[in-house]
């Protein structure tokens, strides 16, 4: 056999053996794990951005509703303090004070009726809880996917024949899977409305 012919036979054999040494599988697995980590960070950022805005919305809706209900309660209390007896019916000032107190209740009730379609604090609380649960589920899924990608990468760089290419061409080192290290990290963050 001539040298050129041996070289022609050796080139495909070298390509096949290099392909079997992790030349493509190592960077593919590494990039997959990095992409999964980016998902984890993305969902943490989503939670960090979303929760304060939702809490503020719920607080604002609750404050508006509280204000309306306080007005109704105060108007009712004021109206119940103004009394007109049968003997007072000849005094125009007492009758007018009674009518004004009752008009205050009527006005407050009208405000309540007008605002009723907009009273959403209970729905806002439900939305907040749904979003919190959804955020925690997304984070949990992203961490699980990242850990799966890290496991696949670490397995790739440690098993034959990919381990050869991983060490020689890439100097690959095992990636660290996600695990909660912060005390209390296993619990979802508390939401405080104060």
What tens digit of pLDDT does each residue of 78-99 get?
Answer: 666 777 777 777 777 877 777 7
pLDDT band at 132 (very low <50, low <70, confident <90, very high): confident
| HSE toward the beta carbon, residue 181, CA cutoff 13 A | 4
Whole-number pLDDT of residue 153: 87
Between CA 24 and CA 102 the distance in angstroms is 82
Alpha helices (runs of H) in the chain, residue ranges in sequence order: 3-19, 25-81, 92-115, 121-158, 162-165
Cβ atoms of 90 and 153 within 8 Å: the answer is no
Q: Extract the runs of DSSP E, i.e. beta strands, from the chain.
A: none
Rg (CA), the chain: 35
What tens digit of pLDDT does each residue of 137-165 get?
Answer: 888 888 889 989 989 988 888 888 887 77
* 105 backbone dihedrals φ, ψ, rounded to 5°: -65, -45
DSSP per residue, 154-173: HHHHHSTTHHHHIIIII---
Cβ atoms of 72 and 109 within 8 Å: the answer is yes
Q: Which two tokens stand for residue 157?
A: 């760089």
Between CA 65 and CA 118 the distance in angstroms is 9
């Amino acid at each position: 056999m001539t040298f050129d012919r041996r070289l022609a036979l050796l080139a495909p054999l070298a390509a096949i053996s290099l392909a079997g040494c992790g030349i493509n599988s190592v960077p593919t697995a590494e990039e997959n794990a990095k992409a999964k980590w980016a998902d984890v960070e993305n969902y943490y950022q989503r939670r960090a951005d979303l929760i304060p805005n939702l809490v503020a919305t719920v607080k604002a809706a609750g404050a508006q509703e509280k204000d309306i209900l306080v007005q109704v309660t105060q108007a009712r209390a004021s109206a119940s303090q103004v009394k007109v007896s049968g003997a007072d019916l000849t005094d125009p000032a007492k009758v007018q004070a009674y009518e004004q107190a009752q008009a205050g209740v009527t006005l407050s009730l009208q405000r309540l009726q007008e605002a009723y379609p907009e009273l959403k604090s209970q729905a806002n609380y439900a939305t907040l809880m749904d979003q919190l649960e959804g955020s925690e589920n997304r984070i949990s899924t992203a961490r699980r996917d990242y850990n799966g990608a890290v496991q696949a990468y670490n397995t790739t760089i440690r098993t034959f024949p990919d381990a050869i290419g991983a060490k020689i061409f890439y100097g690959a080192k095992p990636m660290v899977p996600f695990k909660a290290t912060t005390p209390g990290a296993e619990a979802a963050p508390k939401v405080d409305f104060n």
